[in-house]
Amino acid sequence: MSKRIGLLANTQKPRASEMARKIIAWGKREGLKFLLPPNEASILGLPGLSDDEWRSEVDFAIVIGGDGTFLRASRYVMNWDIPLFGINVGNLGFLASGDPENATRDIQMILDEKHSIEERHVLEGQVIRRGSVRYTMFALNDLVLTKGAIARVIHVEVRIKGQYLTKLPADGMIVATPTGSTAYSLSAGGPIVPPHVPCFVLCPICAHTLYARPVIFSDNDRLSLIPEGDHRDLVLTQDGQLSYEILPSDRIDIRLSSEKKVKLIMLPSRSYYELLQEKLQWGQGIVSPGQPYRE
């Protein structure tokens, strides 16, 4: 049975649009059809489907852009069983890890079923205001509580399953999935967590105390963040792309979602640990055992 291939691209990047056109042209020569949602169809000047039609028709999707594009794509397919494969035309590319030079070869490998599917955990966050749920959101990378433009410390009470844990003075708090552990959390000193580990990370941003350290919680834990004081400029960001106003006395409940996951297509030559070695440049410049050191 032929596969119905979706195509999502960051059409604001000329390189991504150019790559999309090349892949579509290759598909025509190979007898393959790529299905486009409304935005991509409009920008590329090609026929497309409505959002709901696209999501109900597609077997898997190619995502052309950087990790930001991949995060948007993950929200777009969150409630649908659509595996994603990212082709990186951005910078670092932990999620969009495909090489644009080998894009058509990689797509053919997926069509030949020479790939695996990896399920990634998703955070579920709820903002509780005066006893009611004000917002519900899902994040593949992280949920981040930060202050506004004025350089002031915020004090955040931390609870686990309703039990008081600590109170931290910091510039903000990052709650990250294993997938997001190599994003903002890593820059703030958090640990690298392999994506198959069912946990999430709490990482303070520039904590104003020496005892604050990143903490890892299990998939059975519910974390609550309660900002104290009368701050009127607090923001909760979802994957660094969507934001929600946080008011004094709001409570932010966060856990790993028990229902939603994002499926990534992984090729044999692009394992997670090989990706770590490449993107973080581990081992480069290190003298191998038995190799003489030379200045």
Q: Are residues 130 and 226 in the same domain?
A: yes
Query: With contact defined as beta carbons under 8 Å apart, do 91 and 116 qualify?
Result: no
Question: What does the pLDDT average to over 10-39?
Answer: 94
Q: Which two tokens stand for residue 122?
A: 């998703």
pTM value surpassing 0.85: yes
State residue 150's pLDDT score: 66
184 and 105 in one domain?
A: no
pLDDT reported for residue 231:
73
Residue scoring higher pLDDT (268 or 20): 20
State residue 248's pLDDT score: 85
Question: 237 and 166, same structural domain?
Answer: yes
Q: Are 18 and 140 contained in the same domain?
A: no
Say if residue 2's pLDDT is above 70: no
Query: What is the identity of the amino acid at 216?
Result: I
Q: Is residue 284 part of a domain?
A: no
In this prediction, residues 35-56 reach a mean pLDDT of: 95
Q: Name the residue with tokens 């497309």.
A: 48
180 lies in a domain?
yes
- Residue-wise pLDDT for 212-223, tens only, equals 899 999 999 999
Q: Which residue has the higher pLDDT, 231 or 122?
A: 122
CATH number at residue 188: 2.60.200.30
Pair 41, 70 in one domain: yes
Whether residue 241 lies inside any domain: the answer is yes
Locate the DSSP E strands across 69-162. Answer: 84-88, 116-129, 132-139, 142-146, 154-160
Whether 253 and 129 share a structural domain: yes
With respect to residue 195, please indicate whether it lies within any of the assigned structural domains. yes
Are 131 and 247 within one domain? yes
What is the DSSP secondary-structure string of 209-259? STT---EEEETT--EEEEE-S--S-EEEEETTTEEEEE-TT-EEEEEEEEE
User: Which positions are catalytic?
Assistant: 67
In a shared domain, residues 175 and 91: no
168 and 219: one domain? yes
Q: How many domains does the chain have?
A: 2
- The residue segments making up the domain with residue 63 are 5-115+267-279
| Any domain includes 275 | yes
Residue range 76-88: average pLDDT? 94
Q: What is the mean pLDDT of the chain?
A: 91
Model confidence at 189, pLDDT cuts 50, 70, 90, reads very high
Query: What proportion of the chain, given as a percentage, has pLDDT over 90?
Result: 79
Residue 210, pLDDT above cutoff 60? yes
Residues 142 and 78 placed together within one structural domain of the fold = no
Do 293 and 216 contact (CB within 8 A), yes or no?
A: no
Report if residue 167 sits inside a domain: yes
pLDDT the model gives residue 1: 45
Specify whether 247 is located in the same domain as 155: yes
Residue 91: CATH number of its domain: 3.40.50.10330
Q: At what angle do helices 14-30 and 103-111 cross, to 10 degrees?
A: 50
- The string of DSSP letters for 4-34 reads -EEEEE-TTSHHHHHHHHHHHHHHHHHT--E
Q: Is residue 92 part of a domain?
A: yes
User: pLDDT digit string (tens) for 87-109?
Assistant: 999 777 788 888 899 999 999 99
User: pLDDT (tens digit, 9 = 90+) per residue, 146-186?
Assistant: 987 666 789 999 999 999 999 999 999 999 999 999 999 99
87 and 151 co-located in one domain = no
Residue 48 included in any domain: yes
φ, ψ for residue 248, nearest 5 deg: -55, 140
